[in-house]
Amino acid sequence: MDKIIETKDKQNEQNIDTNIIQQFTALNNELLDTKRQLIKSNLELQKLNQLKNQFINIASHDLRSPLGAIRYFSQTLAEELNGIIKPEDIALLQIVTEQSNYMLKLIENLLNYTKIEDHDIKFDFCDTDLNDLVENNVKMNSLIANQKNIKIAFEPWDGTLIVHIDKDYFQLVLNNLLSNAIKFSHLNTTIVVRTWLASNSVNISIHDQGMGILPDDLNRIFEPYNKGKNKPTGKESSTGLGLSIVKGIIERHNGNITVESTPEAGSKFTISLPAHRISIQN
C-alpha cells in the first residue's frame, strides 16, 4: 500500500514538474515573440525617423534661399523707403524681415538637430583657448544685450585654459546659451559668465537675473521643441530647439550641462568638460 502511495506521489510530482516546464516554455516563447516584435518596431521607427530627417533636410535646404531673399529685399526696402512711405508700411516690412530671420533660425536649428540625432556631425577638434573663445562670444552678444540695457560680465579663470573642442560648434553652444539668457532676462540686469577649473573638470557658467524656469518646465528643459511656459521679456521668438542642440553637442564632447533655476530669480547653466581634455598654461 505504501509503495502504491509512493508511486502516485512521484507521478504527481512528475506531472507538476511537467506543467511547470510547459508553462515556463510558453512564457519563454511569448517573451521571444515580444522581443522580435520590439526589434521589428524599433527598426521601423528608426526608418521613419531617418525619412523624417531626410524630409527636414530637403525642405530646409529648399526653403533657405527664398527666405534669405525675402529677408534681404524686405530689409532693403525698409531702409530705402524710410521717410517716403507711411511709417506703418515700414513697420510691416520690418515684421517681414523679423519673421524671415525667425524662419531662417528655425531652419538652421532643424538642420543642426537632425545632424545630432543622426550622429551625422563631423567634429573638427583642435586645441582652443577657452577664455578667448568665451570672451569673443560675450562681446558679440553684448551688442544684442545692449538693446535691452543688459550687461554681460565675464569673469575668466586666472590662467589659460586650453581645451580640445570643435571651435565652431562650441561657439554655437555659447551663442545659444547667451541668446537664451538675454531673451529671458529683465531689462537693466546683468548676466555673469564665468570660467573656472575644478579638481577634475573645466567649467563655464552663464547666470542671468531673469524670470527663471518654472518647476514643471525644468525637467524637460533640454527636450526638443520644448519652449516652456515663460515668454521672452522682449517678445523675442524661440524655436524650442536651441537647448537640445546644446546638450547634444556638449555630450559629443564627453561633457555635460546642468541647470539651476528659481522662478523670478534667474537661471544658471553650467557646462563641465572632462579634465583629461584640458592643459593649463600659466
Q: Are 182 and 191 in contact (CB under 8 A)?
A: yes
> Higher pLDDT residue, 74 or 105?
74
Residue 3, domain extent: 1-120
- Domain boundary at 101, 120, 139, which? 120
**Both 5 and 19 in a single domain?**
yes
**Both 206 and 277 in a single domain?**
yes
**Both 161 and 184 in a single domain?**
yes
**Both 10 and 115 in a single domain?**
yes
- Domain boundary at 87, 120, 153, which? 120
Distance CA(252)–CA(113), nearest Å, equals: 13
State residue 130's pLDDT score. Answer: 92
**The pTM is what?**
0.69
Distance CA(272)–CA(103), nearest Å, equals: 31
**Long-range contacts of range 58-61, CB-CB < 8 Å, 24 or more positions apart?**
60/107, 60/110, 60/111
Assign 92 a pLDDT band (cuts: 50, 70, 90).
confident
**Both 74 and 175 in a single domain?**
no
Mean pLDDT of 185-211: 92
Whether 7 has a pLDDT exceeding 60, the answer reads no
- Kindly report the CATH number assigned to the domain that includes residue 196: 3.30.565.10
Mean pLDDT of 59-68: 71
State residue 200's pLDDT score. Answer: 77
Q: Are 195 and 131 in contact (CB under 8 A)?
A: yes
**Both 231 and 103 in a single domain?**
no
**Both 204 and 169 in a single domain?**
yes
- Kindly report the CATH number assigned to the domain that includes residue 74: 1.10.287
- Domain boundary at 79, 99, 120, which? 120
Assign 250 a pLDDT band (cuts: 50, 70, 90).
very high
Whether 189 has a pLDDT exceeding 90, the answer reads yes
Number of domains in the chain: 2
Cβ burial, residue 267 (10 Å; 0-12/13-18/19+): buried
Whether 194 has a pLDDT exceeding 90, the answer reads yes
**Both 259 and 131 in a single domain?**
yes
Distance CA(206)–CA(154), nearest Å, equals: 9
State residue 244's pLDDT score. Answer: 87
State residue 174's pLDDT score. Answer: 94
Highest mean pLDDT among 6-15, 48-57, 140-149, 228-237: 140-149
203 residue type, one letter:
N
Distance CA(221)–CA(245), nearest Å, equals: 12
**Both 234 and 215 in a single domain?**
yes
Whether 268 has a pLDDT exceeding 60, the answer reads yes
Average pLDDT, whole number, for the chain? 81
Q: What share of the chain has pLDDT > 70, as a percent?
A: 83
Q: How many degrees, rounded to 5, is the angle at CA 172 between CA 263 and CA 63?
A: 105
Grid coordinates in use for 262?
Answer: 528659481
**Both 31 and 140 in a single domain?**
no
> Higher pLDDT residue, 164 or 36?
164
**Both 26 and 151 in a single domain?**
no
149 residue type, one letter:
N
| DSSP secondary structure letter of residue 222 | T
Mean pLDDT of 56-63: 65
**Both 174 and 269 in a single domain?**
yes
